[in-house]
Each structure stands twice: as C-alpha cells, then as structure tokens.
Amino acid sequence: MTKADRAAKIAAAAPKRRGPGPAVIVALLVVAALIVVGVWQVSSGSQGSQSTVNSAGVPKGGDANGGLNAFPGVKLADGAPKVEVFTDFQCPFCGHLAKFNGEAMNKLAKEGKIQLVEHHMKFLDENMRRGEKGPSHAAANAAYCAADEGVYPQVAHGIFVNQPEVEGQGFPDDLFTKLAQGAGVKGEALDRFEKCVSKKKYVDYVKKSDEMSARMQVTSTPAVRINGKDIAKEDMSQLVSAANTFETVLAKY
C-alpha cells in the first residue's frame, strides 16, 4: 500500500481492514509507481536535512544506511544474498508480509543463508501529523531497543502481528514490554529495554532509516530488495498473500 493510498484511507475513516487479494495488491503497487514519488519527495525534502544520528544513537546491528541486520552475530554462508525489507509498522500490507513470510525470512537469516537487513520507516506518522509521538516512531524505536537486548526478530515480528485494526490507533502501552518479556528479557536487561523505549533512545535512528530509504528510492511499503534489486510486483503480491512463499521468490533472484 502506498503513502497516497494510506492518506486517502485515513481521510475517509476507512472501516476494518480485510485481507487483500493478489489482484488488488498488484493494482495498488502499479499505482504506487505513478503517484507516490511526488508525495514522498515533498515530505522528505522538507525534513531530510534536519535530522542527524550520533554514533551513540545506533542500535546493535545498525548500518550506515539506517538499516538493521536482524541477526548480526550469524556467520553468513558463501554467496548468501542480501535481502533488504522496507516497512512501516503501521502499514497493513507490511503486517501481511510479516505474518505470511516473516518467520520464513528469519529462519533463513538465522541459518546464515541470507543477510536480512530491515529498514523501518515512519511516513504514516507524518501523514497523520503525529510526528515523533506517533505509533510508527514508537514501534520502530522499540524494535531497535530490542536489538540491543538481542531479541529484535521476536519483538519486531510481534509488533506486526499485533497491529491495530485501524492505522493511527497506536499500540497498547504495555505491548513492547510484554513482547520483550516473551522473548526472555528480564531483570536489568528488561529495565534497560523499558528505559530505552520510554526515553525514545532511537527516535533519531528511526528518522535516519526513513530518510535513507527515500534516498535509496524506496517509494512504497512493503518493499523487498534482493542483492540491491527490487523484486517484481507479482512476487511481492505472493509474499503478502501466501504463507511460506519466500524461498520460492528468493530462488528467482
């Protein structure tokens, strides 16, 4: 789903989402290529020069492009492809991608068969004029806090699985803590995580991820690139509508 589509949906106070069919998704992705570039350029152009990230503000696994290596300690197999995933935690189709193929991606990354780099964006907060107080910022910051405690994959996936029914509603106040606890974070580590979340430690890194994604010419979410190449629209349609299809798509690239 594109930014323009989401903005129209919000303005119309759309009802509860339903699972999209492949044909609908392909049509939306085609429209994205024609519409969203101008909208995003206006948003990014007005903010891109205002945000900087200190070296101390980079989460474990973070990189120069605002991405995050989901499994930074894993030794990669020879020839392991780099898979980059661009999402907004409020984006419904991003949630579908995580629910249908997130675990499949994580499994391959954990085994060192792919290098999984995830970029979390926050443009939906901008569309709704929520700024740093919006759900996209909060969720991405929490995911980065989880990375510091070694539980990024579990927490990020849990956030997507627990998406609110309507964009802009936000996440429950205790969701991030519960997800971290469910992943085994406790004691001093849990205290660190909760402080990181409450203090919004990585809000600047969230901005950097969004800005760098725009510079990398990512014009809609979710987006998947394999070794720097965007996957075809029909492959994206498959990933957000059919379970455990990632390996089939990966084999094409």
What are 223's strand-pairing partners?
Answer: 86
Residues with Cβ < 8 Å from 80, sequence gap 6 or more? 112, 113, 114, 115
- At residue 21, the pLDDT reads 56
Those residues whose C-beta lies under 8 Å from the C-beta of residue 173, and which sit 6 or more positions away, are none
Name which of 146, 160, 175 is nearest 61 in CA terms.
146
pLDDT of the residue at 130: 76
Query: How many structural domains does the chain have?
Result: 1
CA 149/CA 99 separation, integer angstroms? 23
Phi then psi dihedrals of residue 119, to 5 deg: -120, 120
Amino acid 36: pLDDT:
37
- Say what the pLDDT of residue 4 is: 54
Contacts of 244 (CB under 8 A, 6+ apart): 100, 101, 104
The CATH number of the domain holding residue 18 is 3.40.30.10
CA-based nearest residue to 153, from 191, 122, 111: 111
Residue 135: the pLDDT is 95
Using only C-alpha atoms, the chain has a radius of gyration, in whole angstroms, of 17
Q: pTM for the complete prediction?
A: 0.78
Give the per-residue pLDDT at 30. Answer: 42
pLDDT per residue as tens, the chain (253 positions) = 555 555 554 444 343 444 455 554 545 454 444 333 333 333 333 333 333 333 459 999 999 889 999 999 999 999 999 999 999 999 999 999 999 999 999 999 999 999 999 999 998 887 777 778 899 999 999 999 999 999 999 999 999 999 988 888 889 989 999 999 999 999 999 999 999 999 999 999 999 999 999 999 998 999 999 999 999 999 999 999 999 999 999 999 9
For residue 242, what are the domain limits? 3-52+60-250
Among 152, 141, 128, 251, CA closest to 198: 141
- For residues 94 and 88, is the Cβ–Cβ distance under 8 A? yes
Tokens of 75: 């030794």
